[in-house]
Chain A
Amino acid sequence: MKVEAKLLIYLGVFFGAMGIVYWLWSGENAGGMMLVASALLGFLPGGYYLWWSNRMVQRPSDREDATIADGAGVIETFPGSSIWPFTLGCGAFFVGLSLVFGVWFAVPAFALIVWAMLGAVTESRRGGGHTHNANG
């Protein structure tokens, strides 16, 4: 976790320094603002990772001497397949059409998006209940 944190923080420091130099030198606000915001985008997740890396046991993927067996156990719960991303994508397509050809396209768009949201949320809940913990 330390390398990940440092990567983001160093990028943030670089963007911050570049942003300050640029803003003071040019006096142009749009670019200066965007560079400073970019620096924050380095500091926020970078700081979060650094905070965690000081409080967690080193993960097997951070240790050079870790064996494959050190990582044994459950990695994560993944969906096997799901129709809801496709439904949401169709909704987004209608949103695009509504921006161009008229607001009435927003009606099917809204219906599809709400349907997909409900479907995705209940799918996760159902799935979590149905599967068993492989260790237990």
Chain B
Amino acid sequence: MTEIIERPASAGGDVLVDDHAQLDHGAHDHHGPTGILKWLTSTDHKVIGLSYTVTSVIMLVIGGLLAELIRIQLAVPNSSFVSLAEYNQLFTMHGSLMIYLFAGPFAFGGLANIIVPLQIGAPDMAFPRLNALSYWLYLSGSLLMLLGFVTAGGAADFGWVGYAPLSNAIYSPGAGADLWIAALMLTGFSAIFTGVNLCATVFYLRAPGMTMFRMPIFTWNLLVVGILILLAFPVLTAGLVMLYCDRHFGTHIYTVPGGGVPVLWQHIFWFWGHPEVYILALPFFGMVTEVIAAMSKKPVFGYKGMVFATITIAALSLGVWAHHMFTTGVVLLPFFSIMSLLIAVPTGIKIFNWIGTMWGGKVRLNTAMLFAIGFVITFLIGGLTGIYLASPPLDFFTHDTYFVVAHFHSVVLALVMGGMAGLYYWGPKVTGYMLNEPLGKIQFWLWFIGAQMMVVPQYILGLNGMPRRVATYVHDPQWAALNQWATAGAILMGVSTLVFVVNFVYSWKRVPAGDNPWDAQTLEWFTTSPPPHHNYYSLPPIRSERPTWDYNHPNAKTLAHGHHEAPDPAPAGATP
């Protein structure tokens, strides 16, 4: 079934639409398939986005359970809770699920799919069927990767980075490793298609008046993520094809005996891997920016600075890959050290602007805002330790220790907080119902305290020399105590996730949200909750980067950036 879509009408603004037939073509009640068939056949970006979100949260829960098993194993010295081989599978699959199947798909497949078209006034993504294909490839890849657990040799066990030569057919025989490679090929294509869709949607489907420099920061970040996906993911997929050829077709691309170069895998992997860090992080930066602006009732502080910081982070992220490879001894240390340290500048601008947005605003400390602030604090800790690691002498000392583990867990646990802020903020728009606030606050504090309880001992363990990826350690009272603190923190975060699931079930169809429960500023809050098929019955005039706010507060002195028409006349009696 094909539908021709017309532009929605103007909302009480500049021109009255007399041709009512146009409204019917803009957004309407959709008479498509229902039930299970709706989820299998829908090309609506909101349905696909919801499928993505739910699937990726399931992956978060599975990956989280693996993490709990890892932490239980490490809670006491000389533990034999799991075998050494099982431990290798646990940390490999924990990392793989969280990076490949949760963080990316949740951000650029889930919330981005739902929110980006809404924020720019588009009826759908540019290529709806390609968008659906992205989801099905992602689900296929996820199932393939999980299938590894039920094969005879178990799941992949060479770490989520799959370093050659450990990942070759001699050291890692068995179906689990091949399933891991096949899964990453499929999810890689899924990501590439999503990248194409994001760029095309932002370039071609913006509403009239929605110029590039009026787009919300979240949409800007997702555009840059789309470009980064197109730059980075094909490299990984090509690297995986070569790895597969090495394993099965007798090529010698990554093997020394045949004249290959094992470190080439690291170059290829991290040329994808470091942009991937920002492919993961930028969507969450965007979510947090939107939440902080809405909950402070202020426009984003330094809008253009924010956009340029995003672009700068993306540009620099392609030139830093070998800071993961300092200890290989064959990389150009000064180049990668300088480029890595430079990333701190745009990231610092962002943190400054988040604080500037809150400064002097009417800050509401609800769950979404608490998660956003928790994100800023935890991300700052992870970012600052990243600066240490960008310095080769310090990296030589801490490489492959728990210091590195703690550094990137600070970052990714912060990203989960950003994602939760996004879910509590946009959840009402997507489902039409509010999430429960007291339960949300319990969830936040459990997660925030748990996260710090886990990473701070790990920083100390790393500086004391505990290597990463070891299944057990000799009896040492200090190491044991620190590991027990970390395990307790991980359990708190597990309980927090449980509270989230309870909250989701409890809040389902309980408190209707209304169109704009937060008095938020960007365009998506203008339509109904949940939005109709093809999103908008009518659109407000777009004169700044916060059209809904301008429409709802016509007499407010606008602080938004960009060019404006003359401000509305002041109310009678007001002094200029």
Contact surface of A with B, Cβ cutoff 8 Å: 1, 3-4, 7-8, 11, 14-15, 18, 21-22, 25-26, 28, 30-31, 34-35, 38, 41, 49, 60-86, 88-90, 92-93, 95-97, 99-101, 120, 123-124, 127-128, 130-134
CB distance from B146 to the nearest CB of A (A): 12
User: Across the interface, do A82 and B231 meet the contact criterion of CB distance under 8 Å?
Assistant: no
Do residues A80 and B208 form an inter-chain contact, with CB atoms below 8 A?
no
The interface centre, meaning the residue of B144, B185, B213, B563 with most chain A CB atoms within 10 A of its CB, is B144
- Is there contact, CB below 8 Å, between B5 and A74? yes
B129 partner residues in chain A, CB cutoff 8 A: 79, 82, 84-85, 120
Q: List 12 A-B contacts (CB under 8 A).
A: A7-B212, A11-B227, A11-B314, A18-B319, A61-B207, A64-B563, A69-B17, A71-B207, A76-B126, A82-B128, A85-B136, A99-B185
Q: Does B29 contact A (CB under 8 A)?
A: no
Interface digits, B238-258 against A, CB 8 Å rule (1 contact, 0 not)? 000000100000000000000
List of A residues within 8 angstroms of B179 by Cβ: 96, 100
**Number of CB contacts from chain A to chain B under 8 A:** 234
With A26-B335, A85-B136 in contact, do A99 and B209 touch (Cβ < 8 Å)?
no
Report, nearest first, the 9 A-B pairs whose CB atoms are least far apart. A89-B136, A127-B2, A60-B208, A68-B10, A85-B132, A71-B208, A61-B206, A69-B15, A93-B140
Residue among B3, B44, B181, B534 facing the most chain A CB atoms (10 A cut-off)? B3
Check B209–A67 contact: CB distance below 8 A. yes
Contact A78 B14 (CB under 8 A): no
Bound CA span A85–B143, Å: 17
Residues on B with beta carbons closer than 8 Å to the beta carbon of A131: 2-4
Given contacts A84-B129, A85-B133, contact A25 B175 (CB under 8 A): no
CA distance A70 to B210 in the complex (A): 12
Which residues of chain B have C-beta atoms less than 8 A from A84's C-beta?
A: 129
**B124 adjacent to chain A (CB < 8 Å):** yes
Q: Which residue of A lies closest to B564 (CB)?
A: A64
Selected contact of B42 from candidates A4, A8, A81, CB within 8 Å: A81
A85: chain B residues at CB < 8 Å are 43, 129-130, 132-133, 135-136
Q: Are B231 and A38 in contact (CB under 8 A)?
A: yes
Interface string of B74-111 (1 = CB under 8 A from A): 00000000000000000000000000000000000000
> Would you call A128 and B315 a contact (CB within 8 A)?
no
B334 to chain A: closest residue by CB: A25
Instruction: Name the interface residues of B161-177: CB closer than 8 Å to any CB of A.
Output: 175
- Residues of B with C-beta under 8 A to A76: 5, 123, 126, 205
Other-chain contact of A82, B132, B227, B267 (Cβ < 8 Å): B132
Q: Which of B198-248 contact A (CB under 8 A)?
A: 203, 205-214, 227, 230-231, 235, 244
Interface string of B311-333 (1 = CB under 8 A from A): 10011001101100000001110
B212 / chain A contacts, CB cutoff of 8 Å:
3-4, 7, 62
In the assembled complex, the Cα of A69 lies from the Cα of B207 at a distance in Å of: 10
Q: B574: CB under 8 A from chain A? A: no
Nearest A residue to B330 via CB reads A28
Determine chain A's interface SS by DSSP, over half rule. Answer: helix
Residues of B contacting A62 with CB < 8 Å?
211-212
In the complex, the answer to whether A63 meets B211 with C-beta atoms within 8 Å is yes
Chain A residues whose C-beta falls within 8 Å of the C-beta of B264 in the assembled complex: 30
Residues in chain A near residue B203, CB distance under 8 A: 1, 4, 49
Name the one of B42, B185, B205, B311 contacting A7, with C-beta atoms under 8 angstroms: B311
Q: How far is the CA of A86 from the CA of B133 in the complex (A)?
A: 7
Do residues B128 and A78 form an inter-chain contact, with CB atoms below 8 A? yes
- Given A99-B178, A128-B2, A134-B25, A92 and B140 contact (CB-CB distance below 8 Å): yes
Q: How far is the CB of B254 from chain A (nearest CB, A)?
A: 12
Contact at A99–B319, with CB atoms within 8 Å?
no
A31 to B247, CA, bound (A): 24
Whether the pair B6, A134 counts as a contact (CB closer than 8 A) is yes
B8 at the interface (CB under 8 A from A): yes
Collect the chain A residues with CB atoms within 8 Å of residue B268's CB: 30, 34
B263 to chain A minimum Cβ distance, whole angstroms, is: 9
- Establish whether residues A86 and B40, one from each chain, have CB atoms under 8 Å apart when the complex forms: yes
B8 with A82: CB separation less than 8 A: no
Minimal beta-carbon separation of A96 from chain B (angstroms) = 4
> Which B114-132 residues have a C-beta within 8 angstroms of A?
123-124, 126, 128-130, 132
Cα A28 to Cα B205 with chains together (Å) = 41
| Chain B contacts for A74, CB-based, 8 A | 4-6
In the complex, are the beta carbons of A82 and B41 less than 8 A apart? yes
Task: Report the bound CA distance from A29 to B441 in whole Å.
Answer: 52
